[in-house]
Amino acid sequence: MLASHRIPSFVILAAATALGGCAIPTSSTQLNPGPEPIELQMTPTVIYAGQWAELVVRSPGADSIAIESENGLDRYWSTDSVLRVALPSDFGDAAPAARYAPEWRGHTLQYLKKPVRVTACRQGRCQEFHHEIAVKLPERNPRVVAVTAGWSSVFARRTIRDGYRTVLFEDALTSGVWSLQGEWSAGKWNGRVQGLLGMDDRGVWLDLSRVLKGGGDGMSYGLAMHAGAVRTDWLDGGRSPLPSNRTVYRAGIGPSIMVKGITASTQFGIYTDGMETLQIASSRVSVNGNLTSVRHPVTITAEKTFAFGGGAIVSRRQDAVERVTGAIRVLDGFAIQFGMSTHRIAWPTQDPANDLRASDTSMILGGQYSLTW
């Protein structure tokens, strides 16, 4: 029988063990190597913050075995000669709390040793032993600025169709794109400026978020703003039945949820190309692993924007963008960049059946280098 005021996730632990197989290290400690042995095994040998470890205590012939935190807050027991538990990293903590590895004389102390008491009873006689469980603490990320430059190959497929889905223009091409991005996350502000330069795509964006109210677990609530200018030259009058391109300007504002290095927002604003003005509804999520509280090798940006206008009820003039880009750091500073985007545009004509529709689907693959401080 196993009891505790906590219910650990054996399913998660068992799955992790099965997937990792013998690659997961196991430690074995003899707490009492005498005639009444007590052996303690832990898999893996160290508990990472926010994770679990399988702890097995064996004592042949024992009537019961118990393991208890030094402060007595957590206790597991079994009325058998074997006790098996999934031990969380916050074992013995009064309340869950984020801990980071402290610095001492220029060195990072990554391991926290948590004392436990192991008790084995035989025929009413109990023996108590002391042991320490190692918990590996994450390092706090002091970086607040990240500057990234990269080059990517873009594989694009572009089409223009009329209201009868007749193909008026179709093209598939590969081109190169340069990108430059600067991001800042400190105090109550998250900010990002980004530029893009390609063969027929150019753009610059600015995103700012300001904390208005702090929340628990490092999460805050605030206000986000986006502004940008984009020009796409493949829709020029010489290659398609559409009028020549114009630079498009976008601006929006709305509520946001913020954590250091992470911003999620929903915004409403306007879209204009100097000839017409549309309304915009957009959602954006940005995660920069270089600036999060604990540094991660992954950076992700996702955006969904829908601009509409020209109709009182159902708008026929539309401009929709869905974009996901990411990067995985493989060396210090260098990351593999990837992404996918779709851009759909609709223009009304005198006859709704002949409305023009354009689509641009692109895949991105390249590399980028980041400087952080």
pLDDT for position 11: 42
- Whether the CB-CB separation of 271 and 247 falls below 8 Å is answered with no
Q: What pLDDT, in 10s, does the model give residues 199-210?
A: 888 999 999 999
pLDDT tens for residues 192-239?
Answer: 999 999 988 899 999 999 999 986 667 899 999 999 999 988 876 455
Instruction: Output the DSSP codes for 170-209.
Output: EEEEEEEEEEEEEEEEETTEEEEEEEEEESSEEEEEEEEE
pLDDT at 272 over 60: yes
Residue pair 48/89 in contact (Cβ under 8 Å)? The answer is: yes
Q: What is the mean pLDDT of residues 163-188?
A: 89
Distance CA 303, CA 355 (A): 26
Res. 252 pLDDT band, cuts 50 70 90: very high
pLDDT tens for each residue of 328-363 = 999 989 999 999 999 998 888 777 777 888 899 999
pLDDT of residue 312: 53
The confidence score (pLDDT) of residue 20 equals: 45
Note the pTM of the prediction, 2 decimals. 0.74
CATH number attached to the domain at 145-372: 2.40.160.40
Task: Please spell the DSSP secondary structure of 310-342, one letter per residue.
Answer: S-SSS-SEEEEEEEEEEEEEEETTEEEEEEEEE
Flag the least confident range among 95-104, 121-130, 256-265. 95-104
Q: What's the CA gap between 48 and 55, in Å, rounded?
A: 14
Which sign, positive or negative, has the C-alpha torsion 77, 47, 101, 327? negative
CATH 2.60.40.10 domain extents, the chain:
10-136
What residue has token string 């208005």? 212
Query: In which order are the strands placed within the sheet that holds 82-88?
Result: 27-32, 38-43, 52-58, 82-88
Question: Could you tell me where in the chain the CATH 2.40.160.40 domains are found?
Answer: 145-372
Give the dihedral sign, CA 99/13/69/107.
negative
For residue 9, pLDDT over 80 is answered with no
Q: Find where tokens 């779709």 sit.
A: 342
Residue 14 is predicted with a pLDDT of 47
**Domain 10-136 top-level CATH class:** mainly beta
